[in-house]
Structure formats: structure tokens, C-alpha cells
Amino acid sequence: MRSLRLRSNIDNLLTYGLVIIAYIVMRILITSGNISSSLQGQLVPITAYIVMAVSLNLTVGVLGELSLGHAGFMSVGAFSGVITATLLTDTIPMTWLRLALALLIGGLIAGIFGFLIGIPVLRLQGDYLAIVTLAFGEIIKNVMNTIYLGYDANGIRISMESANALQLAEDGKVILNGPMGAIGITKLSTFNAGFVLILITLFIVLNLINSRSGRAIKAVRDDKIAAESVGISSWRYRMMAFVTSATLAGAAGALYALNYTTVVARKFDFNTSILVLVFVVLGGMGNIRGSIIAATVLTVLPEVLRAFNEVRMLVYAVILILVMLVRNNLTLRQLFQKIGIKRRNSLANNKEGDDS
């Protein structure tokens, strides 16, 4: 048990170290001006997608349930965060505090939606759960396309007809404009905020996985009947993982939305859920560090392949297929395992030599 705990702590430290080193390298590149403007503009979306991938891995990899509506929670957090940040513009002039509150409220509201959706959804399993979560994501997208929300001196007004139906005063402002989405957003998100959110996400997820609750979640995943026979409430721990995942996705959505001046609901559709799922599968189910690397590489890759013009998405798809083939090749996996074992043995021998 002690060796397993030590190995888990080392693995967690490697994950934190990877994120911190990557952040330091990017800060150096930004300061020295050795990074393109297009890549610099991708930094906040990359951090948001990393949080999305890590949070979805909690549901898909650790809990073992396939969710196809993760973009729905991202959408809830995105629009909740935008509304919060806009309403607090005059009350709280400090941008970092408004951003923090927007992320917090976006995450909380997404978590509430996760709990409400989880009550019926977590009674299902497998394909049925995937279909219901997919439906939730599409419902959220279509509902957001019908909401008009604004505010003036008289308070907040909501309509599902048109922006004119809000009947705002001259000093009023429309925040949600139906199919046009959230408009007139003040950009608050920064790469530093994204880095902090990643660290918070890793702290929550890694501590949950290695805690008693995390072991209970894995027990429910491996054998639900056996877990319940020893007194583990499958519904409770499945709900814990699902709501935590939804909350983090909501915070990521708020961070993502506050990086643009306009955000539309169709950005958080089925394709976004599949994209995040690809990050998780490619990085490895239950592998948090793999999700971070996959989210980063696959977000940057389309920009790197922009030189290929019309065929860049074809090249992108071919690279995805090749990577998945390599990951599922038993011979190559055994080769990598042998290399890893030899490397660990050589490090152990070097350490024994130093001690002697």
C-alpha cells in the first residue's frame, strides 16, 4: 500500500511539474516575442480544453461512463460566466476578481445542472447514458438560441421572443441576443488565469482519484454489484464524479467565453463534446497527464497544419488515425514498456551505486 501511494504521489508531481514547466516555457516565449500571434491567441482555449479533457476523464476514464454532453455543461458555464461578469462590471472594477467570480458562478451553475441531470441519467448505463447526455447537450444549445437577456437601471429582463421585447431603457444593454449568442463581452480571460484553473482542476481531480471516495468510484466502475455488497453507494459516488466533472466543465466554459467578444451557442454542440472525448481517448482513459498532452497537441495541430490549406483537416484526421493505431498496437506497447522497465532499472542501479 505504501509503495502504491508513493508511486501515485510521484505520478501526481510529474503531472504538476509538466504543467508548471510548460507554463514557464510559454511565458519565456511570450516575453521574448518568439511566439506567433496565432499561437498566442490559442493559449486560453488550450487551457480551457485541458480543463475540459481532465474533467471528462473523471467521468469516462475513472467512473467508466460514456458522456456525450460535456459541451452542454461548458455552454451553461460559459453563458452564466458572461452574464455574471457583465452584471458586475460597474460593481467590481477589478478584472481579475470579476473573472474569478464568473468562473466560480459558471462552475456552480453547471454543477447544479449536472446534479439535476444526474438524478435520472445516472440510473442508466452504457449506451443509454451516452444518448441521454447527448440529448442534454443539444437541448441546452437550442434553449440558449431562444433566450434574450438584458439589463438596465430597472434590473434584469428576459424574453424568448426578441431583443425588442426586452423593452430596455436607453442605457440598457443586451447580453444574450438569441441565436447571435452573448454579445459585447469584455475580454477578461488570460493565460495566467487559465494556468491557475488547470492547477485547481488537477488538485481537485487528482486528490479525488487518490482519496477514499476515488477508490469507491473505481470500485463501482469495476464491479457495481460487488461494491454495493460491501456497503458502497453506487449512486452517491457516481453522482460525486459526475457533478465534479460538470462543475469543472462549467468553469472551463466561462474561461473560454470570456476570451472572446462574442460567443454563440452552436460553438458548444455535439462536435465539441466529441472533440473533448477524442482528447480523453487519445491521451488514455484514466490518464490525466495524457489528457493534458492530447488536448494541447490536438488544439495546436490544426494551426500548425494551416500551411496545407484545404487538405489540413484531412492530414489532421490521418494523424489521429495513425496515433490511435500506434497506441493500440500490442507490439509497440510492449516495446515501450520494456524501455520504461530498463530505464527504471538503470535509475535504481545508479542510485544503489551512489549510496554505496
Low pLDDT (below 70) residues in the chain: 1-6, 307-313, 316, 324, 326-330, 332-333, 336-337, 339-356
- Would you state the pLDDT for residue 4? 62
- Predicted TM-score (pTM) of the model is 0.86
- What CA–CA distances, in Å, run from 100 to 151, 180, 241, 291, 315? 22, 25, 23, 24, 38
Handedness of CA 187, 191, 194, 196 (dihedral sign): negative
d(CA 240, CA 262): 33
Three-state secondary-structure class, residue 173: strand
pLDDT single digits (tens) 250-272: 999 999 999 999 999 888 988 88
Query: Percent of the chain having pLDDT more than 90?
Result: 31
d(CA 296, CA 27): 16
Strand order in 155-159's β-sheet?
155-159, 148-152, 173-177
- Would you state the pLDDT for residue 333? 65
Phi, psi (5° rounding) for residue 177?
Answer: -120, 55
Residues shown for the chain: 356
- Would you state the pLDDT for residue 2? 63
Residue type, 2: R
Which residues, 6+ apart, have CB-to-CB distance to 2 below 8 Å?
none
d(CA 222, CA 90): 51
Break the chain into its structural domains and give their ranges: 44-145+181-291
pLDDT single digits (tens) 119-147: 888 877 777 888 888 888 888 888 898 89
